[in-house]
Homo-oligomer: A and B are copies of this chain.
Amino acid sequence: MYSMVEQIRRKRDGLELDTDAIRWIIREYTADEIPDYQLSSLLMAIVFNGMTTDELAAWTDAMLHSGDVLDLSSVDKAKVDKHSTGGVGDKISIPLAPIVAACGVAVPMMSGRGLGHTGGTLDKLESIPGFTTQIDPSAFDRQLTDIGVVMVGQTERLVPADRRIYALRDATGTVPSVPLISSSIMSKKLAEDLDGLLLDVKVGSGAFMKTEADARTLAQTMSDLGAAHGTPVTAFLTDMSQPLGATVGNANEIRESIDVLRGNGPQDVTELTIAFARAMLVLAGHDGERAASDVDAAISSGAALTTMERLIEAQGGDPGVIEDPSRLPSTGQHRVIEADRSGFIARCDAYDIGVAGVRLGAGRAKKEDDVDPAVGFTVHVDVGAPVDAGQPLLTVEYRDDERLESALSVLKGAIEITDEPVPARTLIIDTI
């Protein structure tokens, strides 16, 4: 039996908490035996004093075992998932999962919803008419065996400690902490019974990690947690200073994902999707060179697109959207923003565009909010591109005038044009 106030004092004073004490804290908090006000005080002390490697491993393991852990042993394939720390226009998971599945690796993907200025895979998928992201456990295994991919939300019973701790962190200013972020992500991913995990750690204005150094620390910390648990991890550091691809929103990101699966997506989304697909095959034990040709073949043969179609159908969605993307929701109302001068795109700010998306209704200001599947942006320019005055920069698809005006007021400062040429960004910063 431990005293919670004693554990808080230890962390406050920079002493290490022992493994049993950490297990006790997570167990008792999840069982409502430790009050929120004690945990929040401990969390703030962790924000300041961090965690040692042993503490973090114990904390993550205790979270992971706070509820059910998946058993996918009935699925006779290697299982690999991917997690992104979140960004603007980041639809990579959607074309990625069917490509990897088409190459014979199972992808039991559990994703999240948009919060803050970032979008969420579940919200995007739900813009497909009929698509459900909640399926029951037996259907999960069967679909994973048959199609090789499921794309769902987390069940309530997986890592319940994380749901509670995350909600508390959100309300108590204790979100930005590498050990707390790492344990939140990794406890959920390690509960999925994976053979490998690809992490996409985003860096830049539209990411939660604003600097490369912070992103690198987070990526390394999560890789170490995976290794300690026996689950190989490949972590990419990728740019999130400007939105990924040409679309930000929900339905329009599904349209773009279908383009990628057809082999005609925007260059940046295609590049990341292919790099990640290859890395996931390698994590599953495939040979690197064969992985590259398998990924290319899955796209060029249409196998990946067919897998996407089967996935949509299996999860109750309208597979007709593949052939006819106009079946996806649309408001039919657009506003084009044009360049007010000639020059070069110096900044196309992911954060500002993400915030504008929330104001438009594509994301959530609060957890309880509904998202509007149809609204969003098409971004016509990349950083470094030359533009002429009057050339379209952004097309806004909107539903209501008030929200449009609110979004436009943020967009005003989002795109900057200068006289001097500007180098294009580096999309993949590093691989760990």
| Chain A residues within 8 Å of B, Cβ to Cβ | 5, 8-9, 11-12, 35-45, 47-48, 168, 170-174
Contact = CB atoms under 8 A, between A and B. Distances in A.
Nearest to A177: B12
Contact of A44 (B41, B170, B171): B41
- Main DSSP-derived SS at the A contact region: helix
Contact of A36 (B5, B12, B36): B36
Given A44-B44, A47-B12, A37 B168 contact: yes
A38 B40 contact: yes
A311 to B, nearest CB: 38
11 contacts: A5-B171, A8-B44, A12-B173, A12-B174, A36-B37, A37-B172, A38-B171, A38-B172, A42-B173, A44-B48, A45-B173
- Pick from A43, A45, A47, A170 the residue with the most CB of B within 10 Å: A45
Contact of A12 (B11, B35, B44, B170): B44
Contacts of A37: 35-37, 39-40, 168, 171-172
Contacts of A43: 41
A9 B43 CA distance: 13
Contacts of A5: 170-173
Contacts of A168: 37
A8 B172 contact: yes
Contacts of A48: 44-45, 48
Nearest to A39: B37
A170 B40 CA distance: 14
Contact of A9 (B11, B35, B36, B173): B173
A3 to B, nearest CB: 10
Contact of A41 (B9, B11, B12, B40): B40
Contacts of A12: 44, 47, 173-174
Contacts of A11: 173
Contacts of A8: 44, 172-173
A7 B354 CA distance: 24
- Pick from A11, A37, A43, A48 the residue with the most CB of B within 10 Å: A37
A9 B9 CA distance: 21
A79 B170 CA distance: 48
A172 B41 contact: yes
